[in-house]
Amino acid sequence: MNITKTQIDALNAVITIAITKEDYATQVDKKLYDYKKTAAISGFRKGAVPMSVIQKQYGKPVLQEEVNKVLQASLSKYLSSERLDLLGNPIPRMDQTIDWDQDEFSFDFEIGLAPEFVVDLSATKNVTRYTIIADDKMLNDQVDRIAKQYGKLISQSEVKEDFEVRGTFTNEENGIIAPANFGLDIFANKKVAKAFIGKKVGDVVAIETKGLFDDDHKLMDYLKIGHDDVHGLDITVDFTIEEINAIEKAEFNQELFDKIFGAGIISSIDELKAKIKEDAEVQFAQQSDQKFLNDVTDSLIENTKFDLPSLFLKKWMKTMGETPLPDDQIEEEYAKAEKGLRFQLIEGRVMAENKLQITFEDLKAHTAVIIKKQMAQFGQLDPSDEEVAGIVARVMGNQDEVKRLSEQVMGEKMIGLYNEKVKTKSKEVNYDQFVKEMYGE
């Protein structure tokens, strides 16, 4: 056997695998001998079929099967030993004709190679690092929501501006059936709020999801749909009104503070606002980090220039499905995938050059922090190390969870690296201003 690589250009090459009879003859003979022992052919006793008959009936299919096994094993071993940085998978040359009556065969495979390029983090441009503050308006709004949340409901016959409605969001096509209870101030789109005014129990309000909330992630809570489906969701959902209530706001006193936070933790409106501010700004920091990571990524993609073996990748994409896609659809799919591929290459280069790795201990520690936060939400403020470790072990046994957690840990490591090496402008904003910066609204 002889394997050679012919470089076409910096991003494309052809691997040629020449196979001789010595590479496959033993396997073919063994397979045919096994057929001879078990073959049931008319006119011959089982196990007594002449090898010439076996060869005539099974020889060529067995030859093709065993040569293909040798070919695939050899190609895999060669790619591993040469440590080629491939994009996609090798594609057999379609214009080659194989004469199976010969003893020696030659097979060509096209490959696409990852480009060489440099990622200069210090050259990243126009990235802003946001510090999001919980301003007085937000704190007052939150205090008002708490007063409503713990207030008294008084049934009403029709909707007015400060009332709450309970009912169900539905969209049959998208499988949405989501009970909800809310005040009209939840909507960023004020036209939606106005559409409820004057409605009665049993009425249905049609609602457009695009721009419905100040943050698309709220669609996850109200429509009970997944994270991957909410960004830019543009459908119509119906809300059927089942109950209408006015709210007699709760009085803030020690009894209410103890009910919400536990005995003696909060004792005044000022302390309540301080607690709201602290919790909110922790969450805001996470959102700021995510935007920072996204903005650096976009800047790196825009400013890190390199070519891709696009013709090869389109050809490879065409072979991926059971049914080949037409050329116009391949062009469309490649246009969608190109930015993601560039991001993967840049991210991989950044990780390699800065020796960013995820250890098992990193994953365990990250998972433990998440579990403790979740347990605290359900009142378990001081779980034992053994209890947390047991839950961590169960989570780590789920490969999908491990993959998701690994992405989170690597994201944190990337943010830490970018904080250190990327030049940024600093800007302090409230949450509403941040949303406008994020969504351009």
- Taking only the tens place, the pLDDT of each residue in 256-290 is 999 888 888 899 999 999 999 999 999 999 999 99
- How many Cβ atoms sit within 10 Å of the Cβ of residue 144? 13
What's the mean pLDDT in 70-81? Answer: 95
Say if residues 119 and 350 touch (Cβ distance below 8 Å). Answer: yes
Q: Span 287-311, mean pLDDT?
A: 93
Segment 116-145 shows an average pLDDT of 92
pLDDT of residue 414 exceeding 90: yes
User: According to the model, what pLDDT value does residue 38 have?
Assistant: 80
- What's residue 124's pLDDT? 86
Q: Which pLDDT value is given to residue 335?
A: 92
More confident residue, 351 or 439: 351
Return the pLDDT at 322.
76
313-372 pLDDT per residue, tens: 999 998 887 777 788 889 999 999 999 999 999 999 999 999 999 999 999 999 999 998
Q: What is the 3-state secondary structure (H, E, C) of the chain?
A: CEEEEEEEECCEEEEEEEECHHHHHHHHHHHHHHHHHHCCCCCCCCCCCCHHHHHHHHHHHHHHHHHHHHHHHHHHHHHHHHCCCEEEEEEECCCCCCCCCCCCEEEEEEEEECCCCCCCHHHCCCCEEEEEECCHHHHHHHHHHHHHHCCEEEECCECCCCCEEEEEEEECCCCEEEEEEEEHHHCCCHHHHHHHCCCECCCEEEEECCCCCCCCCHHHHHHCCCHHHHCCCCCEEEEEEEEEEEEECCCCCHHHHHHHHCCCCCCCHHHHHHHHHHHHHHHHHHHHHHHHHHHHHHHHHHHCCCCCCHHHHHHHHHHHCCCCCCHHHHHHHHHHHHHHHHHHHHHHHHHHHCCCCCCHHHHHHHHHHHHHHHHHHCCCCCCCHHHHHHHHHHHHCCHHHHHHHHHHHHHHHHHHHHHHHCCCEEEEEEHHHHHHHHHCC
Determine the CATH number of domain 121-125+267-439.
1.10.3120
The pLDDT value recorded for residue 392 is 92
Instruction: With a cut of 90, say whether residue 37 has pLDDT above it.
Output: no
* Count of CB atoms situated within 10 Å of the CB of 134: 20
Does residue 231 carry a pLDDT above 70?
yes
CATH 3.30.930.10 is the classification of domain 2-113 = no
User: Distance between CA 377 and CA 20 in Å, rounded?
Assistant: 67
pLDDT of residue 374: 85
Asked if the 152-248 domain carries CATH number 3.10.50, the reply is yes
Of 21-35, 80-94, 366-380, where does mean pLDDT reach its minimum? 366-380
Band the pLDDT of 420: cuts 50, 70, 90: very high
User: Average pLDDT, whole number, for the chain?
Assistant: 91
Give the bridge partners for 398, in sequence order.
none
What pLDDT, on the 0 to 100 scale, is given for residue 43? 76
How far is residue 32 from each of residues 41, 50, 66, 98, 282, measured CA to CA in Å?
Answer: 14, 11, 11, 22, 70
pLDDT of residue 269: 95
Kindly list the domain boundaries of the chain, sorted by start residue. Answer: 2-113, 121-125+267-439, 152-248
Contact 47, 74 (CB under 8 A): no
Say if residue 441's pLDDT is above 70: no
Q: So what's the pLDDT on residue 299?
A: 92
What confidence tens digit (pLDDT) does each residue in 190-214 have? Answer: 899 999 999 999 999 999 998 898 8
| Stretch 178-189: mean pLDDT | 90
